[in-house]
Amino acid sequence: MKKIVFSGIQPSGTIHLGNYLGALRNWTQMQDDYECIFSVVDLHSITVYQDPKALRRKIIDTAKIILALGIDPKKSTLFVQSDVPAHTQLYWILNTITKVPELELMTQYKDKASKNRSTMAGLLNYPVLMAADVLLYDTDIVPVGEDQRQHLEITRELARRFNDLYGKTFKTPEPLITKFGSKIMALDNPLQKMSKSAPSPYNYIALTDSPEVITDKIKKSVTDSETVIKYDPARKPGVSNLLTILSLVTNRDLKAVEESYFGENYGKLKIDTAQAVISFLSDFQKKFYSLSDDKVLSILKSGSKKINKIAQEKINEVYRKVGLK
């Protein structure tokens, strides 16, 4: 029997190159060897206000992006989180065994709470919903970015805690974190991670950016005052980030890429990186724009129908264990 993989992505904004190289690339590579379950986790996205009409559009476009990147609905299951009620049902059960101090220690919560005194409870409880997403399907492996490792650890702890209280019910999932390329940095500030929520569009390269926009963003990316092209994230984060991106989108060894630019200037590195990214995204963009909304919604409906049966069996087991059935 194949091991089960679960992963989700929020429809809360633009999906960018960092999302793909850091996490989504793993999805396409795993579907031949694992039983893959992928979700557009729309409930997570409303921890901050979303315009309802815009959110619905983002849900469809996010699914469209996942399919255009190579997720095959014949090999993997793709569904929308809110279409499966068991996610919120298990979320509540897990909330009853989660300690508030554990949630307050989450780095993402602390960062956002420090900037906003009126932080919503949904943000605090975000990791519990993530735990429900993962544990509902007896997940073995979760491909995550480095910034999500802490959230997965609380998922593992809640699985152990529930099992200790009520008997063996959940698997304890393992993270899959790609070391190289797992964190693509911002073009305008290479000391921070590329982010779809960044105020400046020059922070990231959206997967749907036009060739002209991609070229403009990379040409304006931050480097340094030196002239040597060298991979050294501590001293030369901007140059190192461009080398990382170029290596990943061309599928070339990083050291070989670095050595090929001996004696060259930053301008050439930027132009070459832009052209490589444009070429890399070309097939994806053709597929993205060829997918109709009706086709995508049909795939999501089929995925939800299949996954609801699995999820309902698990939530029935959980309810019996805690005495609700």
Q: Supply the residues annotated as catalytic.
A: 112, 193, 196
CA neighbor of 88 nearest in space, from 138, 44, 35, 151: 44
User: Do 133 and 81 contact (CB within 8 A), yes or no?
Assistant: yes
Calculate the alpha carbon distances from 187 to 17, 125, 200 in Å. 11, 31, 10
Measured CA to CA, the distance from residue 241 to residue 252 in angstroms comes to 15
Q: Report the C-alpha gap between 10 and 33 in whole angstroms.
A: 25
Helix, coil or strand: residue 36: strand
Query: Does residue 34 contact residue 141 with C-beta atoms inside 8 Å?
Result: yes
